[in-house]
Structure 1
Amino acid sequence: MATSNKAAELKAKKSMSSSVGAPSQRSQSTRKGKRAWRKNIDIDEVEAGLEELRTEERVTGSTLQKKTNDELFVIDVKGDDQVRKSLPKFSTSLLSSAKILAQRSAVPALQSRTTSSSLKRKTLTHEEKDRLLRMGKRVRKGPFNAVIDPTEVGAGSAMLEMSEAVKSSGQYDMWNRNGSEEITPEWETISSKPKKVKAPTLPNPRSFIEVSAVPSPHEGTSYNPPVSAHQDLLRTAHEIEERRVKEAEEMAKTKEKMEKARRVAVAEDVLGFAPGMTVQEVEGDDTIVDGTEEVMPTKKIPERKTKQERRKAEKLRAEKRALAEKLANKRLLASVNAAKSLRKAVGKTSAARERLRSEQQEKVMQEKLKKGLAGQRLGKHLVPEGNVDVQLGDDLSESLRALKPEGNLFKDRFLSMQHRALVEPRVPVIPRRGNKLKEYEKHAWKRFDREQ
């Protein structure tokens, strides 16, 4: 029984193979001689370690022991924004067959022969070629295929190179005050690309308007209104119409003044001088009234001062001037020490005043916008206020049967949208006809009077 177990173990040891694929022989038929011992040494751990190093070299190009810490580790301080985009999706590249084919060694392949890319020939310049010929004392040919004598000065084996002065010739500008730096013209520094202008962030007036889409009408617009409400509405319509008439009169006066100025300019061009410069001749003398000659008041001429008085006045003026200068210098010296504090105080007060003014303006504008944009300028044009629909006392109908419809719903809706800043104000554009209509009078109608 023991012999059979030993045979089974021996058979299992003989069939055992290495992890790397090479056959291994663990069982020994004999232990005679050193060759048998050397042949059956167990080196599986060494082979596994070497195989790991080869795998690392194939994947990374070299072993991990030879790489620095910067190549192996990265400190991530920002994070990856593309994690969601890089999540695995179905792709043919994620198949096992594609992964096996994509595994390529990082070690460059061996080349059996030299190629044009592996050999990079260095092109020699004419000067380098001459220098090498001089060093090798080879025959050199000059112009017209003539052999240059190596015993000449500068033509032998001596390595004569160009001096720094010759190499840098033509680069120094003696008129440049800044030294060797070249002055770049201003037009080269200006970029041709236009700068992007940021759009200002302004509040939308629509957010402050509290006008309803369909405002409630005035009480005086009813078909049977109260007397006080009707009179109030009539008064409002009268004020609006009076203001329009006044504006029209002012516009007419302005146009008349402009026309008058244009006529005066034309008259100046014709006459050569302004029309108002003509002087009428006085026929009679207006100085004599009722036989008595009118006496014109004479202006008192001041007496001439003496030299002593002039010197005294000049001395007094000089003393006043000196006192004023002294006072001004004193104030200036006192303000120099407090200049910084004064500047800060003035800056704070001006900033506070400007902030208060802007807040007040914004508050007033918001209060105006609450009632809508009626009568305010938005862009090029004014937002129209709209007409007041009111009937006179004689036109009022006391019953719904006799009521006549007035106004235009479309116009009212459009004005409401303009007041709520939904539609910009526009001026109605009347289309012009390209061809004028020609009227012809028929021959029969020409003799209408005669036939009668």
Structure 2
Amino acid sequence: MSSDSIRHTIKHFGVQKRKLPSSLHKKPSVLPAVEAPHPGSSYNPSYVDHQDLLHQIAEKELEFIKQEEHLDRVTTKMFKKIPQNKKEEYLLREMSEGLPTKQTTNLKSAEEDDNEEDLSITMANSKPVKNVKKTLVQRRKQREQKQAAYTRKMMKINKKIVSDIYKLKNFEQQIEIKEKKLEFLRQKRMMKRERESLMPKTLSKTKFEPLDPDFQLAEELTGNLRNCKPSMSLLKDRYKSLQQRNIIAPAIIKLKRDKAKVKKFVKPDHKINLDAVKLRLNKV
């Protein structure tokens, strides 16, 4: 077979090669598969590393406590505690807020009377205004004023153009300032992208929550591997690592499935009336 016939056969009858997606060759995250733990979490750490680890954990706990206090302050402590015997009184006062009372109705009626009197006085004092036409002199003056205003405006524009020529240095400075600002914003965007590349993406409705850091107090340190107690599950650590590297979507692990409650009922034609059955049996 010639090369053309082979090409024709492969094109129409052969299996075409599929193009792989470009995302297949890209890593979903910059983070390494296995991160190096903090040196303070060792079974025999140095004093500085151990204190540094404890300091980091204490700072995180303080932030968490501060956040809880803030939420408590803006939710629970924001509202007053009302005793049970005064609830109805407060409710009645709240629901009747803004409703008209006797004093408000009297004030409104007095204001309406005053307004009516003022209107009657103004109607009596007002006189009809005649439509007086402008004279030729007034029209000429009006044209002259418009022309003078236009000339002043044009002079101002020309003056600004001339002054702008002498402001080239200022323009250069402004351009430099603008370029510096744009460069600063570009650097800021780059830093933001770098930070976001290290953070897990939102792949599901469940937010990613990292594992609590593994640490031991000074009294719990043994100094050797034989007496060291395991404190973290390796399987859970790997599972969280996959979530953090955007390979698996974060989810809540459920050991038991929630089964739907089946509603049972008897069909109308399957129902048995026991009283009717007893009557029939008695008759028989």
TM-score by length of 2: 0.46
Give the structure, 1 or 2, with the largest relative contact order (CA under 8 Å, sep 6 or more). 2
Q: Which is richer in helix?
A: 2
TM-score by length of 1: 0.31
